[in-house]
Structure 1
Amino acid sequence: MEPVEINAGEYYLRAFRHDDRVDDVPALVEIYADPETRRYMNRLTIDGRPSAETFIMLMTNGWAKNYRWSWAVCDAVTADVVAGIILHNVDHYLKSAEVTCWTHPAHRGKGVLPTALNAVVGWAFGAMGMHRVIYKHSVFNPASQRIPEKCGFTPEGRLREALIIDDQRVDELMWSRLATDPAPEQLR
């Protein structure tokens, strides 16, 4: 499958790239140099150009093999990467996927992810026929909790000691949104 581009108003979502025209490697390295990003996104390590290039290669492969869909969320005016969204654990039989997302530190608290994620979920339900999208986050990350709340997700439960944050086992909260759920009325 070819990568899908999504227009989300003030944000433009496109595939992560590393080529002669667009290079997302510096932005990924900068984002993952942030201590809060590393703290909560610790299953994904981007600690320099080689790992960022590998990440982009894996995201490209996900599109090609149709098992993972990912987007660099870019400012529609400057084209700067301001966030990232990945739909992974795509199950074509159950019509479900799980979302992982992050925001560039300079763009946190500006409504980037609720706007972009709502567009991605709409695409997943409409274009791909998905029925269920799952969102999980650490109980210690209240900023991450605001995203599913704003995007119309329903809390489903607590996964006890499912994550390791700061070398400690912590609980993870799980949310879902179904294709049959009403769209959120307000994103900000």
Structure 2
Amino acid sequence: MEPVEINAGEYYLRAFRNDDRVNDVPALVETYADEETRRYMHRLTMEDVTAAELFIVLMNNGWPKDYRWSWAVCDAVTADVAAGIVLHSIDRKFGSAEVTCWAHPAHRGKGVVPTALNAVLGWAFGAADMHRIVYKHSVSNLASQRVAEKCGFTLEGRLRDESIVDDQRVDELLWSRLATDPYPEQLR
């Protein structure tokens, strides 16, 4: 599949880029240099330009092979990268995937991720014929919990010692949303 672009009102979702016209590398390096991002997204590090360039290549390689779909969430006016959303562990046969998302530090708390994620879920359940999307986060990540709630995910359980935060093993919460679930009426 080719990368899909999604219009989410004040945000425009497109493939991550690093070319002569658009360079997402600085925004990725800034995001992953942020202490809060590193705290919860420790499985992926982007400490320098080379790592961010590799990340973009990896994200874009997922599209044609149909195992990862990813979007840079950009401000529709400034084109600044405000967030990122990745559907991974895609199983087309069963219509399932897991979502990972993050916000650039300058754009946190503005509703970017819930707005963009709801647009991605609409596409995934509609055009991509997915049935179940899973969302996991550390129990202490209250911002991620709010995203799950705003996007109509249902809490399914707790995964014990699933992750490490602040050098300590911590539980993660497991949420899911089905294509048959009602669309969230409003983002709070």
User: Normalized against structure 2, the TM-score is what?
Assistant: 0.99
> Which residue of the partner structure matches residue 139 of structure 2?
139
> Which residue of the partner structure matches residue 159 of structure 1?
159
Question: Aligned ranges for residues 80-119 of structure 1 at < 5 Å?
Answer: 80-119=80-119
1:181 aligns with 2:181: yes
AA of the residue aligned to 1:69: W
5+ residue gaps, structure 2, are none
Shift of 1:167: 1.1
1:11 aligns with 2:11: yes
1:56 aligns with 2:68: no
Structure 2 distance, partners of 1:187, 1:96, is 24
Structure 2 distance, partners of 1:148, 1:166, is 22
Q: Secondary structure at the match of 1:113?
A: helix
Q: Secondary structure at the match of 1:129?
A: coil
Cα deviation 1:106-129 (Å, max 9, x = unaligned): 111110011000000010000110
What's the RMSD between the two structures over aligned residues?
0.5
Structure 2 distance, partners of 1:185, 1:173, is 23
Moved over 2 A (4+): none
> Which residue of the partner structure matches residue 129 of structure 1?
129
Structure 2 distance, partners of 1:175, 1:63, is 24
Count of matched residue pairs: 188
AA of the residue aligned to 1:128: A
Q: Secondary structure at the match of 2:171?
A: strand
Structure 2 distance, partners of 1:168, 1:127, is 40
AA of the residue aligned to 2:21: R
Structure 2 distance, partners of 1:64, 1:50, is 23
User: Normalized against structure 1, the TM-score is what?
Assistant: 0.99
